[in-house]
Amino acid sequence: MSPDYGTFSDPSSRSRPRFRYWLPDASVDPDTVKADIKSVASIGGGGVEFLPFYEYGGANAIGGMPPRADWATYNFGTPAFQNLFRVALQSHEDNGLVMDFSLGPNQGQGVPAATHDEGLQWDLVPFTSAVPRNSAFEGVVPGWGTGELVAFVSALVLSDKPQSYQARDATGFDPINVTYTQHILQSDSLTDQTTNVDKSSGQASLAFPESEAGGDRYYRVFSFFQKRTLNKNLYFDAPEDAADTIFRNGSYVVDHFSAKGAETVARFWEEHILTNGVKDLLMRTGNYAWEDSVEVTSNISWSRSMPARYERVFGQSIKPYLPLFTFKQNNIALQQSAPGPFQCILDSDDQGARYLNNFHQVLGDGYREYLQALRNWSHNALNLKLSVQPAYNLPIDMDAFIPEVDAPECESFGFGDKIDTYRLFAGPANLAGKGVISNEIGAIPLMAYQYTIPSLLFSANRGFAGGVNQYILHGQSYTGKYYGTTWPGHTAFTYLFSKLWSDKQPSWHHGFKDAMVYMARVSHIRQISISKSDVVKYNKQSVTRVAPVYETQDLVEQGWSYTYISPDNFNMKTLYVKNGTLASEGPDWKAFLIESSENLTVNAIRTLSRYARAGLPVIVSGGSPGWYPVADDTKEDFHSELSKFLKSPNVFEVESGGVANQLSALSLSARIAVSANGTWYTTWSESDSIGYAFVFADLVDSSGEITVLNTKTPYYYDSWTGERRPVLIYTRSSGKTTIPLRLAGNQIVIIAFTDDIFHEISAPGYHVTSVPVNVIGSRFKQCSGITLHVAHSGTIDQATLSDGRNVGIDGMSVPAAFHLTNWTLIAEHWEAPENLLDASIIATKRNTTHNLPNLISWDQMPDLMNVSGVGYYTTTFAWPHSGTRKNASASGAYLSVGRVVHAVHVHINGQIIPPLDFLNAVADISPYLKTGANEIVIITPTTMWNYLRTIMSQLSTAGRPPVPLLLGLPLGPVESGLIGPVTVTPFKEVHC
């Protein structure tokens, strides 16, 4: 059964943005949870991702169990939690929403369990010791007693080198100098000595050839012990009288490198949550079982299955090579400053990279097994799907695992709002036919209560441009009372991260819905259509580095779209060449790009050669790529295969930056070619008989044109208003359509191409092919044809039509644009209640009135610089407006409110106009104007920051003071209110 996507004007809940809902713990008021979820429906959301937060797991600098809380009684999976989970599901069903749910507390990476559970996280702990110069080792192996001995290894050290690098400490804020020792080992000296260790005492006796030691050369032994980490994703000290159950111990991280971890999670759900009618309700109302990015630590990423798995894949024991896996093989995001105490490399050409690559491959095999087990349980037990932020904090290749998840999820924080990094993620998902590519959006450090809706849209539009089609907002606050928490209420991450969405934000009912529905409509189009890309770029990373890869601008500047795949994706059934393109049922790539900075496996070269022989152009840019050693590949095989490949037909070598020109030389065309005075990112997607062009203008206002490989009738899809209308100004030539555009910075425009919706939307049988710059708009009505909106100009010009006619464009009699001044501002102050401990209150409100000859930000006004709330701005202007010209006349006008700081609603003569694009807040207000005085009211909310900063020292959440106070950060005011200029631009209508 296919998902219900709704319509463009009214997308379904599954297409709408949802909120990560931070549940403090299971002791909170169920009625408040129910009301919070209902409130999501009121502002256009699709539901929540139900996340039992427990102060970010409790054992960290920004969270812990507050005084008087009892997390043993109210732990994840307890009867109290099950009841609250049922309440949340029922509220979703009652309000027509869908609910995602975390598989465990905090970030979903484990569940309460017994400490002997086979599915808990495992670690491999390394130890090392130098062998005395007499070349004999006698004694207990280093680290004995740490855990189960996996291996005892010896190697000849050729030299030692002290090393260091700069990183961030565990908080992520402070730089730290990381020092370690690098041991260079003789490659043929690695020896498994495990059988020489007494199993009961740990004693070993080894003798080494004295002739091989001397100078800098000496022998070193390494021991490796596996043990359960007993790392917790929920930590607290249980009361002494707490019942002796698994719940008193918090929650343990599970093994992410075998199916056993998933089995532990599934078993817990079946035993503790999916009873008493919850399972049936979850199957009706649930959406995705979900897990966050993997934020767990270890010495070496490990599972007990690793030795057997390695030997099965590579036909050799992993044990001798374990010294090579001691450095940066843990959590590459969280443990930048704790990579391991030593690093071992070999004296071979690849320095041992082959064995590291092998290790990453089998580690990834275990992770794939974990994901598949979770996915199968979600499908078979619940008839639901799985969403995970896959792999990218782990020492494996992210692209290999994106296809394993029903709705793979990335994040604006970790991906840095960079379009290229989103394309890294989207490529494998598009290839695998994933209908949803999700993004956790809005987690910005030090922006709690400061984060604005335009900032959200900045991130969302960049994600859309990179291939994302679903958003989970970070996050929604529980609005009731909680232990140790003052007004404005529970604040996840202790005022460190944005955003704390709820009705305690003035924007919640003053503009936020407009942005939510906008995001829903863009997501709807992206979800119902199949994304197409022009070029696929090779990207193989043994360990994923989430950063831009293709930083040359030649493709983007000319409108070529591209995504990435890894050779780990080459085995997918949809990846074959047909009619000169690759994966025609999905992305339908026209060419394959390989940069010299990439490393190729021998098998990857053979696969690429096969694509080229089948007719796919392969472009090698900037020189020859390098070698990616794996399994039993040899350098000789690599060079032989690469030499044959580069000489093959359909393989083209170009200088860096010459890819776009080579594509043109091959008579290929971008689906959406670009010519603009700014940077525009384009994407194309198709659904049934409709093609959709997405154009995103990066950062600055710009103008230009797009040329689309399509000659069907074009229609603008306005995602802010839901209106669909025909494009009236364009040209056609040689099977292409060229459309001029003017875009604001960070704005997206969607243009649909189809001949099948004439019964829904009227379109003329002719169109305008060129207009002068003072044509600022156009409309079509069946009764009167095309009308151009002509603004003031000092010259007379003409427009040309597709039927050969020319139409005079005379703007000389049109009044010039004018600014609105002399505003009356009623500022609605949102302030703390008299009882600061009553966190359930939205705000205490009062009004003040201010006369403003010109608009100015509140932080520049002494009376308002410490105020948060809602501004109601009122002024009047006369219509028609003659300006300074005699006989001036106009048919209508456009209104621009200037740069939107947060959100706006506009009322003219008592009528609210349709939602404005907050990134380009311009609208035709002609239908609302009357002769004489016209009243305009602009309502704009602020963030809560400017007020909260003044009482920050009085605030707490879950018993802790705000992090900005602890860090001693400046608490300066931020821009807020209506800053304008608000401009009215008269126009006259010219009928064509």
Structure confidence at residue 212 (pLDDT): 74
Closest CA to 742 of 771, 772, 704: 704
Q: What is the pTM of this model?
A: 0.96
Structure confidence at residue 589 (pLDDT): 99
Structure confidence at residue 545 (pLDDT): 87
What six digits make up the tokens of 318?
């992993």
Q: Are 768 and 992 contacting, i.e. CB atoms less than 8 angstroms apart?
A: yes
Closest CA to 495 of 835, 973, 963: 963
Structure confidence at residue 502 (pLDDT): 98
CA distance 772 to 752: 25
pLDDT in tens, 670-686: 999 999 999 999 999 99
Region 914-927: mean pLDDT is 98
Burial of 116 (0-12, 13-18, 19+ CB in 10 A): exposed
Structure confidence at residue 210 (pLDDT): 80
pLDDT in tens, 168-187: 876 667 889 999 999 999 99
pLDDT above 80 for 850? yes
CA distance 763 to 781: 8
DSSP state of 653: E
- Tell me the CA distances in angstroms from 673 to 418, 466, 659, 669, 705, one per residue in order: 21, 17, 15, 8, 8
Count of residues for the chain?
992
Q: Are 60 and 229 contacting, i.e. CB atoms less than 8 angstroms apart?
A: no
Structure confidence at residue 885 (pLDDT): 57
Q: Are 264 and 113 contacting, i.e. CB atoms less than 8 angstroms apart?
A: yes
pLDDT in tens, 99-115: 999 999 999 999 999 99
Closest CA to 663 of 551, 548, 562, 532: 562
Residue 156 banded pLDDT, cuts 50, 70, 90: very high
Q: Count CB-CB contacts under 10 A for residue 132.
A: 12
Q: Who has greater pLDDT, 215 or 951?
A: 951
Structure confidence at residue 62 (pLDDT): 81
Closest CA to 830 of 851, 846, 819, 841: 846
CA distance 635 to 720: 56
DSSP state of 153: E
CA distance 829 to 871: 9
Burial of 348 (0-12, 13-18, 19+ CB in 10 A): middle
pLDDT in tens, 723-743: 999 999 999 999 999 999 999
CA distance 593 to 555: 11
Structure confidence at residue 59 (pLDDT): 78
How much of the chain, in percent, has pLDDT values that exceed 70? 99
Q: State the residue for tokens 């709330």.
A: 869
CA distance 64 to 235: 8
Query: Which H/E stretch holds residue 828?
Result: strand 823-831
Structure confidence at residue 505 (pLDDT): 98
Compute CA 780 distance to the chain's CA centroid, rounded to the nearest angstrom: 39
Residue ranges of the domains in the chain? 18-116+256-297+369-530, 122-228+299-363, 531-539+547-592+603-615+633-665, 672-809, 818-987
CA distance 44 to 840: 23
Structure confidence at residue 119 (pLDDT): 98
111-120, 313-322, 877-886, 925-934: the lowest-pLDDT one: 877-886
Structure confidence at residue 173 (pLDDT): 73
Q: Are 480 and 27 contacting, i.e. CB atoms less than 8 angstroms apart?
A: no
Tell me which CATH homologous superfamily contains domain 18-116+256-297+369-530: Glycosidases (3.20.20.80)
Q: State the residue for tokens 């202790």.
A: 494
Q: State the residue for tokens 């598009």.
A: 430
What six digits make up the tokens of 675?
């010519």
Structure confidence at residue 611 (pLDDT): 98
Q: Mapping DSSP to helix (H, G, I), strand (E, B) and coil, where does residue 928 land?
A: helix
- Tell me the CA distances in angstroms from 635 to 345, 603, 608, 622, 642, one per residue in order: 18, 13, 18, 21, 10
CA distance 88 to 23: 11
pLDDT above 80 for 2? no
CA dihedral 261, 267, 272, 273 (to 10 degrees): 80
Q: Mapping DSSP to helix (H, G, I), strand (E, B) and coil, where does residue 714 land?
A: strand
Q: Are 937 and 920 contacting, i.e. CB atoms less than 8 angstroms apart?
A: no
* β-bridge partners, 987: 892
Structure confidence at residue 745 (pLDDT): 98
Strands 844-852 and 823-831: antiparallel
* β-bridge partners, 527: none
How much of the chain, in percent, has pLDDT values that exceed 90? 94
Q: Where does 113-259 show beta strands of DSSP type E?
A: 122-130, 136-140, 148-168, 175-185, 191-192, 203-207, 218-228, 232-234, 251-253
Residue 239 banded pLDDT, cuts 50, 70, 90: confident
What six digits make up the tokens of 809?
């464009």
Residue 241 banded pLDDT, cuts 50, 70, 90: confident
Q: Count CB-CB contacts under 10 A for residue 82.
A: 19
Residue 884 banded pLDDT, cuts 50, 70, 90: low
Region 78-95: mean pLDDT is 99
Q: Count CB-CB contacts under 10 A for residue 199.
A: 9
pLDDT in tens, 319-369: 999 999 999 999 999 999 999 989 999 999 999 999 999 999 999 999 999
Query: Which H/E stretch holds residue 800?
Result: strand 796-801
134-143, 481-490, 522-531: the lowest-pLDDT one: 134-143
pLDDT above 70 for 555? yes
Q: Are 522 and 748 contacting, i.e. CB atoms less than 8 angstroms apart?
A: yes
Region 525-534: mean pLDDT is 98
The class that CATH gives domain 818-987 is mainly beta
pLDDT in tens, 636-656: 999 999 999 999 999 999 999
What six digits make up the tokens of 776?
């600022």
Structure confidence at residue 135 (pLDDT): 82
Closest CA to 25 of 59, 55, 63, 64: 55
Q: Mapping DSSP to helix (H, G, I), strand (E, B) and coil, where does residue 237 land?
A: coil
